[in-house]
Amino acid sequence: MKQDSFGHPVEKYNLLAEHLLAKVLELGQKIAEKKGKKTKIMEVCGTHTVAFSRSGIAQLLSDVLDLRSGPGCPVCVTHQQDLDYMISLSRIKDVIIVTFGDLLRVPGSFTSLEKEKAKGANVHICYSPLEAIDLAAKNTQKEIVLLGIGFETTAPTIAAALSQALEKGLQNFSIYSTLKLVPPALEALLQEKKFDLDGLVLPGHVSTVLGSDAFDFIAQEYALPCVVTGFEPLDLLIGLYYLLTSLIEEKAELTNTYTHIVKEKGNQAAKEIINLYFEEGDTLWRGFASIPGSGLKLRTKYNDFEARYRFKKVEIPETGVFSGCSCGDIITGKLTPFDCVHFNNGCTPLTPVGPCMVSSEGACSAYYQYRQQI
């Protein structure tokens, strides 16, 4: 019997997927007939957005489900003001910027890190934040600035980088932290009374750190069913099955179908290292502006390692706004990429207008690659 790369029988996998797809479609049709409209579900995580599109599940269920992206793409939710600050840091003499590759091509108000790099800025693309420590140790006459973007999943590795910098006595290392917390963003989103979501697919990776309990408030306070699930096609279909079953039974409950990875209380070691070096604070989000208590800032005792304090005199241009770019509305589920006037009309992966078209987890990028309307 033919097997996939994990040793699973392909025929049985396909049969199970077809069975689940039929069940989900049946449930979706029942709800649509009852409500007179499609069921609107937000997949919070950018990786889920890509997985739904790449697998074809979103397209196959488009007659009964209205899938919307959420604020779960770290590059996409980074505010324009922060991008402009990061770009300004790259222009400082003897500064080496360390960043994940997705951020390189995101347009700032007037330029991008990629364009500044082409002009001579020292911008290092990393696969791990710990690379910044090696650079700091090897380039003691340079200032190494790690761009700390991401959510609860990235925060432990950035905290580990700071821990190593302290251990090695590196004084030429700093972090520009725009780390964000997902639950406060969802709280802010759901507080908009006009929002008409029927349920949420919660972020699997973030849940591994926080635990499923961190999202109980969605069912308890907002009476919305939600599900924690993985990223393979079967994971997605199982998650949708339980979510739609909750809607059919009119139960507002949180279901964890990713139990082999996500525990109720999460990863205690990861949470401890985050809390050791970071504390909650207000931060800017694209699509929201400032959300109280939604960011991770370095604790006061580590201010010397915060780039904002180290480079107080950096010149930052007045933040601009891209006319017509709908990225902020797309990552808050108000619009889909197809609703944006720039989508595939000047805004493509080669010529992105906003971050949603740049990031590998961006909704516009996913729609462009996998869901082009014919």
Mean pLDDT of 72-87: 94
CA gap 285, 308 in Å, rounded: 17
Q: What does pTM read for this prediction? A: 0.92
Torsion of CA 202, 205, 210, 215, to 10 degrees: 0
At 322, the pLDDT band (50, 70, 90 cuts) reads low
Q: Are the CB atoms for 117 and 106 separated by under 8 Å?
A: no
Mean pLDDT of 332-358: 93
pLDDT digits (tens, 9 = 90+) for 260-305: 999 999 999 999 999 999 999 999 999 998 999 999 999 999 999 9
Mean pLDDT of 314-322: 74
Residues of the chain with CATH 3.40.50.11740: 12-324
Tokens 């308890």: give the residue: 220
DSSP 185-232: HHHHHHT-TT----EEEE-HHHHHHH-GGGGHHHHHHH---EEE--SS
CA gap 177, 149 in Å, rounded: 6
What's the pLDDT at 8? 59
pLDDT over 70, % of the chain: 95
pLDDT digits (tens, 9 = 90+) for 133-152: 999 999 999 999 999 999 99
Helix (H, G, I), strand (E, B) or coil at 123: strand
* pLDDT above 80 (res 6): no
* pLDDT above 50 (res 374): no
At 312, the pLDDT band (50, 70, 90 cuts) reads confident
* pLDDT above 70 (res 249): yes
Q: What fold characterizes domain 12-324?
A: Rossmann fold (3.40.50)
Query: How many other C-beta atoms are found inside a 10 Å radius of the C-beta of residue 58?
Result: 21
Please return the burial class of 250, using the count of CB atoms within 10 Å of its CB with bins 0-12, 13-18 and 19+: exposed
pLDDT digits (tens, 9 = 90+) for 103-112: 999 999 889 9
Tokens describing residue 52: 């739904």
pLDDT digits (tens, 9 = 90+) for 162-186: 999 999 999 999 999 999 999 999 9
CA gap 331, 208 in Å, rounded: 22
Given its phi and psi angles, is residue 346 left (phi above 0), alpha (psi -120 to 50 degrees) or beta? Answer: left
Q: What's 348's DSSP letter?
A: S
Phi, psi of 285 (to 5 degrees): -130, 140
